Amino acid sequence: METLNYRFENGTHRLTAPPEVVGVVGSGNLEVLIEPASLDGACSIEITTAAVGFGQIWEAVMRDFQQRWLLADTRISINDMGATPAVVSLRLDQAVQTMLGDAP
């Protein structure tokens, strides 16, 4: 297992809904917990993954996600079991949309 931490400063979009969990921890999938947190305008992301050695890919996916949403004062925890970058992006977007009340 590997734990990765990312912090993105100067976000502009604050989420105020109660914490949400989307996805499941299973082969090829992941679980995302998203919650408001006092982080001085930052978005903090902690990833626990079974796929060791993919930090650069995770960082690229997290940067892309943060550029789309510009989250502030948000904590995200990810439990991963080998999800592809596309699945990671899908679950992260789903988590934000659920917090916003826009989930299908």
> According to the 3-state scheme, what is the secondary structure of the chain?
CEEEEEEECCCCEECCCCCEEEECCCCCCEEEEEEECCCCCCEEEEEEECCCCCHHHHHHHHHHHHHHHCEECEEEEEEECCCCHHHHHHHHHHHHHHHHCCCC
Question: For residue 104, what pLDDT band results from cuts at 50, 70 and 90?
Answer: low
> pLDDT, tens digit, for every residue of 43-89?
999 999 988 999 999 999 999 999 999 999 999 999 999 999 999 99
